[in-house]
Amino acid sequence: MKQISKVKKAAAGFTLIELMVVIVILGLLAGVIAPKIPQFITKAREAKTKGSLANLKSAVHIYYIDNNAFYPTTSLYVSLVPKYIKEIPKCELPANGHVATSVVGQSAVTDAYSQGYGQAGMFTDHGQWMYCEIEDGIDVAMGTVEWGDVWIGCTHTDLEGTIWSSY
């Protein structure tokens, strides 16, 4: 018996119509997704900032455990880097117009304290990390803050509608 192995021509590739349908579908998808890309990027940066805040908080806590129940009383750069954290991460709040910074609002905390205000700084919306190095500090945005507290000095909200300083 003679074997006939004949490949159908249609199966060898796409027809022009099929290609056009695929191109149109890709175009529609791009039209839906492309406008959302900046929002995706912002959301990713916000997620990174929340992760960095968690890292800073845990570094402060490990310091506390390691130093007989004392939180850092000096700059977090001095007390944490590099033993408890490799570096102070950047605080990125892209949707709120703040410039990404690794500054910890703490030297001003010391200043306010040394000037007799007894307050953990008068920060409301600097868009940077905040650290309370004294007991029962008061922050305009936060109210009473405790020694060892780390937060974000921003009264804007993230894309989920949560005020940054409440994290």
> Which chain residues interact with Zn ion by CB under 5 A?
96, 125, 127, 154, 156
- Backbone φ, ψ for residue 133 (5° rounding): -100, 5
Closest approach, Cβ 69 to Zn ion, in A, equals 33
Taking the least distance from each CB to Zn ion, the nearer of 89 and 127 is 127
**CA distances to 39, 113, 127, 161 from 99, in Å:** 17, 27, 8, 20
Give the integer Cα–Cα distance in Å for 32 and 85.
41
Closest approach, Cβ 11 to Zn ion, in A, equals 59
Closest CA to 130 of 87, 91, 92: 91
Taking the least distance from each CB to Zn ion, the nearer of 19 and 99 is 99
Q: Tell me which residue has its CB nearest to Zn ion.
A: 154
Taking the least distance from each CB to Zn ion, the nearer of 62 and 140 is 140
Closest approach, Cβ 156 to Zn ion, in A, equals 4
